[in-house]
Structure 1
Amino acid sequence: MSNSSCITHKDDDIISWFEEVAENAAYVQTQTLRRIIELNFGVEYLRKWLGDIKIQHMDPNALESLYTSLVPLVSHTDLEPFIQRIVDGDSSPLLIQEPITTLSLSSGTTDGRPKYVPFTKHSAQATLEVFRLAAAYRSRVFPIRTGGRILEFIYSSKQFKTKGGLTAGTATTHYYASEEFKIKQKTTKSFTCSPYEVISAGDYNQSTYCHLLLGLVFSDQVEFVTSTFAFSLVQAFTAFEELWEEICKDIKEGSLSPKITSSKVRKAVLDSFSLNPSLALRIEEKCKELKGVEWMCVIPRLWPNAKYVYSIMTGSMQPYLKKLRHYAGDLPLISADYGATEGWIGVNVDPSSPPEKATFTVVPTFSYFEFIPLYRHKEDTEMEDDFIEAEPVPLSQVKVGKEYEVVLTTFTGLYRYRLGDVVEVAGFFRGTPKLNFICRRKLILTINIDKNTEKDLQLAVEHGSQFLSQAKAELIDFTSHANVTNQPGHYVIYLEIKGDVDETLLAKCCHKIDESFVDYGYKVSRKSHSIGPLELCIVEKGTFNKILDCFIANGAAMSQFKMPRCTTNQVLIRILDRCTVKRVRSTAYG
């Protein structure tokens, strides 16, 4: 096997292992549950529900039935009293037998406040396993050279100590600080362009500048371009449009911009390269050409050996795909794997599928999975949610084409934990399901009987923003708010647009968004005027960067940031209203 080959024995080994556990997913799941309970038997939370039941010689299927009949389904709120005791320093076995020394923070962009989740060595090992498995499947379709590099826009945030002395931070931060990440850097076929000092700089603007600089220094070696979320990639290349001249100057002179103020970062970056006037000239010439075509195909033009772009591109990241394709040209966009702060769920074993059709194959060894069947009701307007639930089913009993909410029992102390994600079963990979991510269940626009999900909002905005092309304008980003300050309440949609759009076209856009909400309750309420006309607010350039800055300033990590598509956060609403430059109201249903 040649040095440039992408397929290794390690790739074959991990794929063979996965295909075997996928084939026997139902059995593997009962064994996974047994192992979780055995490892954590006697902890306060499980003792509360299971008592002193002897499980040592119990049949795995009987244990599964007993567990699901006695232990209740819970949300994070139900576990908060236990987690808060851990945060405050209670070291007794509350959720797991293993001492918890590290806590992960969720992004907090869904419901406005971050949540603590236990992070253990198992968490980092599972992350490494996901990366290895996904990389093995990608290598089958998109071969990369051994010894190449990855242009990786990844960001570590600051860790801090809780009242009880535990280390807290984002899951990505913990992973980047772990031995598992160092192993990945040393043992994988490609490694990141940026040293750890850049990843952990704590200032995403400085990190992004250095990622771009070193990515260009090693441009001929870059095998693929990646970040945790598609949003981060779009942010990085949007920034590059403004930074390229300064970056070229640094490459030409072997210097580093004074905007990089961290001495550790400066030393690490300057130690990584030396002046290269000929490379700087080549980049300058290409950038001048790219500027004339609105930076179309910037990635393949500047990184000619890149095979693909890799990132989470589903759910709230889908609105960034159009801009990302603009930057990526014909390079394949591959959607990264499916996980949450609470745990990993599935891998993308079909990397050749476009992001809009990406599925995620559940890894049955990561957690014990259950799925709550969900049935959408079309005209029942009295329900508090837009779903009717049935009893949870195990992984092996889900049905293709049906929608479910994901439930996790993890090695890290979450028992029958409702993740809040709605998925559709797209099919099976051997014996384990392949999932389409649909939406976050609770993230909805609602005023009274109307129930619109994030996906509903996204589709409505897509329909309305089609009018922008008539003015050669481009949608940069959007969010929304259900305004109930005055009656009747109404939806407010905030758009940031690149280009000039006249009032007539904005009115058409607003009207189209309003009529594109398909929820029955919304349509009835609009026709009866119990919900007022939709309000479209156009915000000034840079508004959504201000929202990002606001989250970062309050402790959010760039690597986990997701723009909230629907917000009740008054700080964000004040930013949006202060930056609004045009307002129009819909005439739909008028």
Structure 2
Amino acid sequence: MEASSSEDMIIWFEEVAKNAGKVQMEILKKILEINHGVEYLEKWFGDIDVHKMDAEALQSLYTSMVPLASHADLEPYIQRIADGETSPLLTKQPITTLSLSSGTTEGRQKYVPFTSHSSKTTLQMFKLAAAYRSRVYPTKEGGKILEFIYGSKQFKTKGGLSAGTATTHYFASQEFKLKQQQTKSFTCSPEQVITSGDYKQSTYCHFLLGLFYSPDVEFITSTFAYCIVQALTLFEEYWIDLCNDLSQGTLSPRITLPGIRRSVLDLIKPNTHLATWVRAKCEELEGSDWYGLIPKLWPNCKYVYSIMTGSMQPYMEKLKHYAGDHLPLVSADYGSTESWIGVNMDPSCAPQNVTFTVVPAFSYFEFIPLHRQHHKPCDAVVAGGGGDDYLEDDPVPLSKVKIGQQYEIVLTTFTGLYRYRLGDVVEVSGFYKGTPKLNFLCRRKLILTVNIDKNTEQDLQLAVQKGSQPLIKSRAELVDFTSHANIVNQPGHYVVYWEIKGVVNEDVLDQCCKEMDAAFVDHGYVVSRKTNSIGPLELCIVERGTFKKIMEYFIGNGATMSQFKTPRCTTNQVLLKILNLYTIKRFRSTAYQ
């Protein structure tokens, strides 16, 4: 991106942020005008001519007449579109592509409409985010980006629509090709490597080209922090072959896809000096458990850029290990398969403290005020169910949110989602001009509940973080984790699965189990454990590589590395079978004895 266009993006955003309330009303009016007459809206709007209404009156009418919706409410319409129905059900704009949400790791595919508007806003968000990053970390003309990005194989629905992940659609779009042409820094890997559908072969080639262009790499990025950690773990296995390929200008026999081989061999040539340098660095790094791998091999890399909030937080320590002491980690922006939401205006901010400034021009946003309940022992929910731990008030528009209040986000989009409950819980930390700045807290869905206990993903992550502290003294690390609420036998109990790197004494793991159990502070859980209506927590240690098998299972079923997230809690029987098959040790807590 040219410097002038970076400044143009910031000037544009300053203007929409200053007039956020007015922009939001105009966005809603535009969405309703474009999609006037679609079947979903007809039942409430009927003969009302939205074109003749002013934006403020239309906003009031819309939020009073159209109900809040979950994905289940819109799913019948999306399924009809997937089956080939062409009448305007959700949008007037033809929907020819459906995205699979990254929240599909429970094994059920969730379709979300994807249109050219989706690609355009993605490109716009990338340009805006790059403009703010370039102010703090300027990059040189003609530099390279080492991107661990992956497209998955698209498939056709019954009605002939293309379906796949949102990232896959974006990488195949004209907007992505335009980004590659217009930005001043270029992705190291050609399209064939990005879209191969084989993440191991793609990762190997990402590394080979990233090393080939090593002096020119300005920053390293991927959609999720997990992808970078997973790739760098593979590097520890690949480095000898990579050095050989760099030296000889060849490509390892492990790369079997003809398209990838051609595209990579067209770019590389023998470089014995570079190969010798890389080999020496790797031999040195191998002796220090690969600490500081990134700056050692990419000395001009200015930062690492990825989504590092929410379910990505557990990978931060490993990413810091690979980044070393001084290489900045920059949190990427806030979005979902359904819509982009907020930009990180302060790339120098530590990822754990990042806030996202809402971009009011992308969708129409509403916010449901949430109040966390404090449970009494007499409270009850269905055992093993997915109840909720919040009381809520009526939704408010973007301009009416309050600092310090927690909210669930509601979206109305150009792609046919109307008052759609996203399920994300955020807290308003402040305002930039007229638009709010958000802290992402967690997904609203409860993931662990047996009795009257109600624990979110955030509660689980905090408990695991506290419970895993004894590992540090053993010079071991927690690689990954998930959980399950086991209610087959009474009393039900939590099962937490850990994969560990390093050798740990059983007494230490027993201590970890006890401390993790005690770290769940939800009142319902504490009371239930004390009265034995929830049994002792069970910690299962799985073999090394188990979570890699889980990732490969999901990728084999249509997920992509660019959107894969380890499920933090699961009821998926295939996944539980994998976890239990590879469990090598089990511990039961004595925290409440």
Bin the TM-score by the shorter chain: over 0.9
> How far apart, in 1, do the equivalents of 2:380 and 2:15 lie?
47
Among 472, 475, 479, the residue aligned to 2:475? 472
How far 1:160 sits from its partner (Å)? Answer: 1.2
Given residue 423 of structure 1, which amino acid in structure 2 is its aligned partner? V
> How far apart, in 1, do the equivalents of 2:520 and 2:20 lie?
39
How far 1:56 sits from its partner (Å)? Answer: 1.9
Offset from partner CA, 1:20-50 (integer Å, 9 cap, x none): 1001100000000000000000111111111
The residue number in structure 2 matching 1:331 is 327
Structure 1 runs of 4+ with >4 Å offset: none
Are 1:183 and 2:183 matched, yes or no?
no
The residue number in structure 2 matching 1:145 is 140
Give the superposed CA RMSD.
1.0
Among 75, 83, 105, the residue aligned to 2:100? 105
Are 1:157 and 2:152 matched, yes or no?
yes
SS in structure 2 at match of 1:559: coil
Q: Where do residues 230-379 of structure 1 align in structure 2 (5 Å cutoff)? A: 230-329=225-324, 330-379=326-375
The residue number in structure 2 matching 1:554 is 557
Given residue 319 of structure 2, which amino acid in structure 1 is its aligned partner? L
The residue number in structure 2 matching 1:93 is 88
The residue number in structure 2 matching 1:438 is 441
How far 1:62 sits from its partner (Å)? Answer: 1.0
Given residue 343 of structure 1, which amino acid in structure 2 is its aligned partner? S
SS in structure 2 at match of 1:174: helix
8 Å CA contact 2:249, 2:271 repeated in 1: yes
8 Å CA contact 2:2, 2:184 repeated in 1: no
The residue number in structure 1 matching 2:119 is 124
> How far apart, in 1, do the equivalents of 2:141 and 2:35 lie?
41
How far 1:458 sits from its partner (Å)? Answer: 0.4
Among 523, 540, 546, the residue aligned to 1:537? 540
Are 1:521 and 2:535 matched, yes or no?
no
Given residue 410 of structure 1, which amino acid in structure 2 is its aligned partner? T
Among 72, 76, 100, the residue aligned to 1:77? 72
Among 10, 13, 19, the residue aligned to 1:24? 19
SS in structure 2 at match of 1:469: helix
Among 10, 28, 35, the residue aligned to 1:15? 10
TM-score, normalised on structure 2?
Answer: 0.98
Offset from partner CA, 1:165-188 (integer Å, 9 cap, x none): 111111111100111000000001
How far 1:500 sits from its partner (Å)? Answer: 1.1
When residues 554 and 443 of structure 1 are mapped into structure 2, their CA distance, relative to the original with a 3 A threshold, is farther
SS in structure 1 at match of 2:562: helix
> How far apart, in 2, do the equivalents of 1:108 and 1:408 lie?
17
The residue number in structure 1 matching 2:61 is 66
How far 1:525 sits from its partner (Å)? Answer: 0.4
Offset from partner CA, 1:324-364 (integer Å, 9 cap, x none): 00001121101101111111111111111111011111110
Offset from partner CA, 1:286-308 (integer Å, 9 cap, x none): 10001111100000000000000
Calculate percent identity across the aligned residue pairs. 67
8 Å CA contact 2:493, 2:537 repeated in 1: yes
8 Å CA contact 1:7, 1:143 repeated in 2: no
SS in structure 2 at match of 1:560: coil
Among 440, 450, 453, the residue aligned to 2:453? 450
Q: Which deviates further from its counterpart, 383-392 or 237-246?
A: 383-392
8 Å CA contact 1:7, 1:140 repeated in 2: no
The residue number in structure 2 matching 1:413 is 416
Offset from partner CA, 1:58-89 (integer Å, 9 cap, x none): 12111101000110100000001111110010
The residue number in structure 2 matching 1:3 is none
Structure 1: gaps (5+ residues) = 1-5
How far 1:105 sits from its partner (Å)? Answer: 1.0
Structure 2: gaps (5+ residues) = 382-386
8 Å CA contact 1:443, 1:566 repeated in 2: no
How far 1:109 sits from its partner (Å)? Answer: 3.7
> How far apart, in 1, do the equivalents of 2:148 and 2:530 lie?
47
How far 1:7 sits from its partner (Å)? Answer: 7.4
> How far apart, in 1, do the equivalents of 2:270 and 2:3 lie?
36
SS in structure 1 at match of 2:251: coil
Q: Which deviates further from its counterpart, 354-363 or 374-383?
A: 374-383
> How far apart, in 2, do the equivalents of 1:7 and 1:323 lie?
34
The residue number in structure 2 matching 1:197 is 192
> How far apart, in 1, do the equivalents of 2:11 and 2:248 lie?
49
> How far apart, in 2, do the equivalents of 1:486 and 1:207 lie?
44
SS in structure 2 at match of 1:538: strand
SS in structure 1 at match of 2:220: strand
Given residue 349 of structure 2, which amino acid in structure 1 is its aligned partner? S
How far 1:478 sits from its partner (Å)? Answer: 0.5
Given residue 326 of structure 1, which amino acid in structure 2 is its aligned partner? H
Among 221, 225, 246, the residue aligned to 1:226? 221
How far 1:110 sits from its partner (Å)? Answer: 5.2
